[in-house]
């Protein structure tokens, strides 16, 4: 039977529970254990698919088509274990399922209540598909004391009793702030947070204390005394120079040892951490630097492009260079060409990422044109590929009115809403005006690459599978004029109906993809497209 590690947070949000969970899972995995990480989100949205990137950050998509919290990206990047639909649940999804059951009469006339019906549904989710695992790490979103999280806290309290106290451990992440006026680290917020958690029936076994400064032994002992945990189970967590240094840092502070001790597990193998040592060596001892300009819509919040940023870093790791990411607001690129050139000329590579809506679209198209005309490495992802096709249609194929139906009616719909496509389960159909949530082409789909294409040489094969999240698609009927203009369709869906990749053979590096390769990139296994893009940027840096 799998053992459970429940991770809660207190005092304030954004303490790094997701990174801590990913790091702990990576450390347990490095000891030979089989792990999986799950995220419980207390908000009432069914999933983050319809939430603003400015509020929630990116939407992470799994192979099986789930739109999930961005923390699942951390989980995959640190462990290499592919996330699934069953690894992220929200209050909205729990209540949606319960209400559907009630309407069907599944509860046989019983009064439907938070306890036991909501808590039972949460527990069922936590225990699903865990038979082949050693540890299941469950992160509870939000902070202890939030009204929204109370059913989840109660559910994990019950679950520990269900599986036995030897099979569940509670890890609480809290804040030890430094008060500059007093010149001291203060432990009271941690004490109050633990007291709040204890009042809900949960005594933490391990405390992870986020602090700006080293935690003195005296404060560590004080926290242990007042919070009723062993001193060795009070784990300092200071900022790291890179997130990929966090597993090594937590191991040095004894986090994995403390968790195993809480389970009563003795004699576990020491972790094999050479993978992480190599990553840190490549990040700290780089042999060059490149600057990538990301021309996007949500650049005010880097978390909106979290996986993208990390994939660029991974490309740097693969090439042993430091990647500087310059976030550029696409709306600022809708002015004079001289202004665009001033912003983009210092860039060694230009990337136009995914997004939704018309705002900034002309700036993205101008960025594509700059990259094409100046021979700067260009990478278009999802909407970025669509903008590359519209730019090509207008400026190299002679279709001046080329546009996308996403922005309104157009005489030349080079990009249009995808109304049907084939899945493993059969034909999927969509209509304009339908629900927005969960209705896109989501998850992993295969593509066939042209054997003589640039992308085939990058992948080293002609059959690939990548993750998608889009509602609009390049219109295959425009293939002939676009290819005459030099934009080649080098990747297609297996049935030949949906364009997946475009490239310009006469350009140093110009590739657009309809999917999101950043979602599958990892520091120890960089995505080949990002590794190749950064390699092209290195060559460009020698020309600038």
Q: Give the span between the Cα atoms of 389 and 383, in whole angstroms.
A: 10
503: number of Cβ within 10 Å? 24
Q: Give the span between the Cα atoms of 335 and 315, in whole angstroms.
A: 32
Token code pair at residue 313? 């870093």
Active-site hit among 58, 382, 389, 468: 382
Active-site hit among 56, 309, 516, 527: 516
Q: What is the DSSP string of 380-446?
A: EETHHHHHHHHHHHHHTS--TTEEEGGGS--SEEEEEE--EEEETTEEEE--TTS--TT-SEEEEEE
- Phi-psi category of 64—alpha, beta or left, where left has phi over 0 and alpha has psi -120 to 50? alpha
Is 518 among the catalytic positions? yes
14, 258 in Cβ contact below 8 A?
no
Give the residue carrying structure tokens 């085939």: 456
**Strand-pair partners of 523:** none
256, 171 in Cβ contact below 8 A?
no
Active-site hit among 172, 219, 518, 527: 518
37, 283 in Cβ contact below 8 A?
no
> Cis peptide leading into 116, omega within 30 of 0?
yes
**Strand-pair partners of 466:** 445
Query: 141: which DSSP letter?
Result: P
Alpha-carbon torsion, ordered 233, 239, 240, 244, to 10 deg: 70
Is 516 among the catalytic positions? yes
Q: Give the span between the Cα atoms of 541 and 544, in whole angstroms.
A: 5
Is 314 among the catalytic positions? no
Kindly tell me the sign of the dihedral angle through the C-alpha atoms of 455, 458, 462, 463.
negative
Task: Look at the chain and count its residues.
Answer: 544
472-474 vs 412-417, strand pairing mode: antiparallel
Give the residue carrying structure tokens 């390049």: 474
Whole-angstrom CA distances from 46 to 43, 97, 478 are 8, 10, 37
Token code pair at residue 176? 């030890």
Catalytic machinery residues: 382, 516, 518
């Amino acid at each position: 039977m799998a053992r459970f590690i429940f991770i809660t947070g207190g005092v304030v949000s954004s303490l790094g529970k997701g990174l801590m969970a990913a790091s702990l899972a990576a450390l347990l995995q490095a000891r030979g254990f089989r792990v999986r990480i799950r995220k419980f989100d207390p908000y009432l949205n069914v999933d983050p698919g319809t939430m603003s990137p400015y509020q929630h950050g990116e939407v992470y998509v799994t192979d099986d088509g789930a739109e999930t919290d961005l923390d699942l990206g951390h989980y995959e990047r640190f462990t290499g274990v592919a996330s699934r639909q069953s690894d992220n649940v929200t209050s909205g999804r729990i209540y949606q399922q319960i209400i559907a059951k009630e309407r069907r009469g599944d509860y046989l006339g019983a009064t439907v209540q938070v306890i036991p019906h909501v808590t039972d549904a949460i527990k069922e989710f936590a225990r699903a598909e865990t038979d082949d695992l050693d540890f299941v790490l469950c992160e509870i979103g939000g902070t202890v004391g939030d009204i929204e999280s109370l059913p989840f806290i109660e559910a994990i309290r019950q679950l520990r009793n269900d599986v036995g106290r030897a099979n569940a451990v509670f890890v609480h992440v809290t804040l030890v702030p430094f008060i500059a006026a007093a010149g001291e680290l203060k432990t009271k917020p941690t004490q109050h947070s633990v007291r709040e958690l204890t009042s809900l029936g949960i005594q933490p076994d391990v405390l992870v204390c986020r602090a700006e400064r080293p935690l003195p032994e005296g404060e560590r002992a004080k926290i242990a005394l007042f919070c009723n945990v062993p001193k060795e189970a009070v784990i300092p967590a200071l900022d790291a120079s890179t997130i990929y240094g966090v597993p090594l840092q937590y191991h040095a502070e004894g986090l994995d040892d403390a968790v195993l001790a809480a389970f009563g597990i003795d004699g576990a193998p020491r972790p094999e951490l050479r993978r992480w040592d190599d990553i840190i060596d490549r990040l700290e001892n780089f042999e060059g630097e490149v600057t990538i300009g990301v021309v996007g819509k949500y650049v005010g919040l880097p978390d909106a492009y979290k996986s993208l940023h990390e994939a660029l870093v991974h490309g740097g790791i693969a090439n042993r260079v430091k990647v500087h990411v310059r976030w550029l607001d696409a709306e600022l690129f809708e002015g004079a060409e001289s202004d665009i050139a001033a912003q983009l000329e210092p860039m060694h590579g230009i990337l136009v990422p995914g997004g939704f809506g018309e705002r900034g679209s002309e700036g993205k198209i101008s960025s594509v044109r700059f990259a094409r005309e100046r021979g700067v490495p260009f990478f278009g992802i999802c909407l970025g590929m669509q903008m590359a096709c519209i730019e090509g249609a207008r400026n190299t194929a002679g279709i001046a009115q080329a546009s996308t139906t996403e922005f309104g009616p157009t005489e030349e719909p080079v990009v249009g809403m995808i109304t049907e496509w084939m899945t493993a389960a059969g034909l999927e159909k969509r209509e304009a005006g339908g629900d927005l949530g969960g209705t896109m082409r989501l998850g992993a789909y295969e593509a066939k690459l042209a054997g003589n294409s640039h992308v085939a040489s990058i992948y080293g094969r002609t059959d690939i599978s990548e993750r998608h999240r889009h509602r609009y698609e390049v219109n295959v009927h425009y293939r002939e004029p676009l290819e005459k203009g030099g934009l080649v369709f080098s990747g297609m869906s297996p049935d030949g109906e949906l364009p997946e990749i475009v490239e310009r053979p006469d350009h140093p590096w110009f590739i657009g993809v309809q999917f999101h390769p950043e979602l599958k990139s990892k520091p120890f296994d960089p995505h080949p497209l990002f590794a190749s893009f950064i390699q092209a940027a290195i060559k460009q840096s020698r020309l600038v």
